[in-house]
Amino acid sequence: MQKKIKDGCRDLSLRRTARYLKKHDNYIIITHASPDGDTLGAGYALYYGLKEIGKQASVICPDVIPKKYDYFVHETDHVDINNATVISVDVADKRLLGSLCEIFGDKIDLAIDHHISNTRFSKNLYLDADAAATCQIIFELLTLMRVNINTLTAKALYTGIATDTGCFKYSNVTYKTHIITAQLYEYPIDAAEINKLMFDMKSRRLLELEQTVLNTAEFHFDDRCMLLTVTADIQEKTGCSGPDLEGLSVISRSVEGVDAGVTIKQTDDNEYKISLRTYPPLDASLICKKLGGGGHKGAAGASLEGDLESVKAQVLSAVREVMEETYAGTVTAK
Amino acid sequence: MQKKIKDGCRDLSLRRTARYLKKHDNYIIITHASPDGDTLGAGYALYYGLKEIGKQASVICPDVIPKKYDYFVHETDHVDINNATVISVDVADKRLLGSLCEIFGDKIDLAIDHHISNTRFSKNLYLDADAAATCQIIFELLTLMRVNINTLTAKALYTGIATDTGCFKYSNVTYKTHIITAQLYEYPIDAAEINKLMFDMKSRRLLELEQTVLNTAEFHFDDRCMLLTVTADIQEKTGCSGPDLEGLSVISRSVEGVDAGVTIKQTDDNEYKISLRTYPPLDASLICKKLGGGGHKGAAGASLEGDLESVKAQVLSAVREVMEETYAGTVTAK
């Protein structure tokens, strides 16, 4: 991969990336918009690492950083843009830089990322699509550079690995993920406390949303299909919208015996967005294709127009058709 | 610890335990009642390990094994009780053997356990209270014995470690936990699938329970106290009782800003059981002591008599008193 240049973007090895970081002195580290644990963890761990070897560095996030990350987020240096090496962490596409895209979109000197979908927008790129988190890469980098890892760095790295793997639950976890995490336990990171903050805390607003939406639950086709509805009314009443609604799709397929979890979200007067989650052998993309949408086998979506009842009828009809094809006629409508 | 005998129970080292297992030939392995992932995982992993070295072994569980463990639970040998070495796994007290206590309670030759509260009911004991799960111990044992670990063994061990740590979330997780888990990833265990089964699946009955109970939620004292009520009526309507209700205490303190989560469960006409979860500096045991109960700093309980309204009033008054003492008068009742 050494020195491979494609679309004006040069692929670096881990070793060359380490050398690159040692060579320069003033860094601006940029996270993606709507920051999560991995982009922030990677950004700050890299920052703390660079400080350990006497560099100047600044972490810039396009959006306000949620308070729950306060335990590793601190003020960073002020670095002059005109005299800085700009690094993006965990950013797959320059559009994900949000409000910073205009200023930095074409000025990223080095991107460190683990998304296979990375669009090669940077001058240099270290991409490891097998890494469960960008924080896993930063750990390897700092180790290779023989940079001292302090407790703050370890907390930041743990946060990124834990959040991007659903606390070691998802299929992106590997042997290496656990080996690296074990090494972070050598520091007093208080992982249980971090996990409580990251996974067990819910705003009252979100709790009320879930509660209200669960009251709309309908079960169809021998209870193999669960349908949740989020009307504009519910969104207004609970003050929840956009990203708040993401978690609902997970609920829709977390019930034993449910193969198809449908969430219908109202987006306008007569407009609805459908999110579908399925379990094999049921293919979500086949169902959503029938509705003019698309997606993957396990998760797909579509947009429909009409009143709620007609939208529901269309969705249920598509689910039933594909269920019948898939289960060869064993499904009966209730 | 070698050969230390106390209360007729001899402490074994890991090495002696390994030697003990090699020496005998016919084993009955017993799990605790209301079996969980760790006792079953440890029992079956030990079974598969002993089979690898040509022993006869049987796994006996006092209760029906939930179907979700089917991926590593298989039929075991028939071993004559009179000619067997009896091993308990993950059993802290012989009463936890449930229906098997009478037959096996005083006949346990070797207990392998990680509960610091182990009551030394066995002839021999290997106890490692620092192990996050008994499965962690079984892994070390099999490794020390140089027994081949097959995929079924690895799946069983992963299950025990994952379930006893809340998927690596809790404070019992250590460096060693992650190192051992990494090694289990060397087998095709499909951990993501296991985790889905163990953590993301909920029966419709439980979902309905949560939903109904959330509708009873009350917030008090500047929303620092959340109160959930599970009346006999709710238990009857949802068909949920006993262990089904355990998860509710977790919900009661999972809301941002809530320091005291109270769950009031009706146990009889005029009887209620209080479960309290708190965050520091609030001490749950202080609150429950005022109600005639007790417990730990983060989790405590009490039993109260009276009608629901008077029980609520008593609980809220105790919460308020301790909150006022703890926060020095900054709490105002709503």
Residue A95 sits at φ, ψ, to 5 deg, of: -65, -25
Q: Which residues of A touch B (CB under 8 A)?
A: 162, 166-171, 173-179, 181-183, 185-186, 191-192, 195-196, 199-204, 207, 210-211, 214-215, 217, 219, 223, 250, 254-257
The secondary element (H helix, E strand) that includes residue B230 is strand B225-230
User: ipTM value of the model?
Assistant: 0.83
- Mean pLDDT of all residues in A250-267: 89
The candidate with the shortest Cα–Cα distance to A221, out of A129, A75, A290, A322, is: A322
Instruction: Say what the pLDDT of residue B333 is.
Output: 46
The candidate with the shortest Cα–Cα distance to A301, out of A284, A322, A319, is: A284
> Would the CA dihedral through A73, A77, A82, A83 be positive or negative?
negative
Of the residues B204, B250, B253, the best mutation for testing chain A's interface (the one with the most A CB atoms within 10 Å of its CB) is B204
Long-range Cβ contact pairs of B9-12 (< 8 A, separation 24 or more): B9/B120, B9/B121, B9/B122, B9/B123, B9/B124, B9/B125, B10/B123, B10/B124, B10/B125, B11/B124, B11/B125, B11/B126, B11/B127, B12/B110, B12/B124, B12/B125, B12/B126
Segments of chain A assigned E as strands: 4-6, 9-11, 26-30, 56-60, 85-89, 110-113, 124-127, 218-220, 225-230, 260-268, 271-278, 294-295, 299-305
Contact A178 B178 (CB under 8 A): yes
Tokens in use for B219? Answer: 């917030």
The candidate with the shortest Cα–Cα distance to B75, out of B93, B63, B60, B96, is: B60
Label residue B96 exposed, middle or buried (CB < 10 Å: 0-12, 13-18, 19+): buried
Q: Chain A partners of B218 at a C-beta cutoff of 8 Å?
A: none
Q: How far is CA A42 from CA A35, A175, A185, A197, in A?
A: 11, 20, 17, 18
| Helices and strands, counts by H and E, chain A | 12, 13
* pLDDT cut 90: percent of chain A above it: 79
- Mean pLDDT of all residues in A258-279: 94
Q: Chain B partners of A179 at a C-beta cutoff of 8 Å?
A: 178-179, 182
Strands A225-230 and A218-220: antiparallel
Chain A nearest CA to B121, separation (Å): 32
Q: How far is CA A65 from CA A34, A74, A134, in A?
A: 8, 11, 18
Contact (CB, 8 A) for B194 and B162 = yes
Residue with the bigger pLDDT between A298 and A37: it is A37
Instruction: Say what the pLDDT of residue A3 is.
Output: 56
Rounded CA gap, B95 and B105, in Å?
Answer: 7
The secondary element (H helix, E strand) that includes residue A162 is helix A151-164
Burial A58-76 (b: 16+ CB within 10 A, else e): bbbbbeeeeeebebbbeeb
Kindly report whether the peptide bond that precedes residue A281 is cis, defined as omega within 30 degrees of 0: yes
Tokens in use for A211? Answer: 């509660």
Q: Kindly report, residue by residue over B64-93, the tens digit of the pLDDT.
A: 999 899 999 999 999 999 999 999 999 999
Contact (CB, 8 A) for A164 and A39 = no
Rounded CA gap, A253 and A16, in Å?
Answer: 44
Q: Kindly report, residue by residue over A171-222, the tens digit of the pLDDT.
A: 899 999 999 999 999 999 999 999 989 988 888 888 889 889 988 999 999 9
Residues 6+ apart with CB under 8 A from A189: A151, A154, A155, A158
Positions in chain B short of pLDDT 70 = 1-3, 329-334
Q: Chain A partners of B173 at a C-beta cutoff of 8 Å?
A: 185, 191-192
Contact (CB, 8 A) for B132 and B139 = no
pLDDT at residue A333 greater than cutoff 60: no
Over chain A, what is the mean pLDDT? 93
Contact (CB, 8 A) for B277 and B249 = yes
Contact (CB, 8 A) for A108 and A88 = yes
DSSP one-letter string for B151-203 = HHHHHHHHHHHHHHTTTTTSTT--HHHHHHHHHHTTS---HHHHHIIIII-B-
> Would the CA dihedral through B270, B275, B279, B282 be positive or negative?
positive
- Give the closest of B182, B201, B256 to A256, CB-based: B201
Instruction: Say what the pLDDT of residue B34 is.
Output: 87
Residue A225 sits at φ, ψ, to 5 deg, of: -125, 125
Instruction: Say what the pLDDT of residue A330 is.
Output: 55
Residue with the bigger pLDDT between A333 and A289: it is A289
Residue with the bigger pLDDT between B53 and A7: it is B53
Tokens 């993301």 — which residue? B200
Rounded CA gap, B176 and B139, in Å?
Answer: 11
Of the residues B67, B70, B161, B169, the best mutation for testing chain A's interface (the one with the most A CB atoms within 10 Å of its CB) is B169
Band the pLDDT of A328: cuts 50, 70, 90: confident
Q: Kindly report, residue by residue over A271-283, the tens digit of the pLDDT.
A: 999 999 998 889 9
pTM score of the predicted model: 0.84
Q: How far is CA A287 from CA A172, A264, A275, A302, B50, in A?
A: 26, 14, 11, 9, 48
Rounded CA gap, A86 and A50, in Å?
Answer: 13
Q: Chain B partners of A211 at a C-beta cutoff of 8 Å?
A: 211, 214-215, 217
Q: Kindly report, residue by residue over A209-257, the tens digit of the pLDDT.
A: 988 998 899 999 999 999 999 999 999 999 888 778 877 887 887 888 8
Band the pLDDT of A334: cuts 50, 70, 90: very low
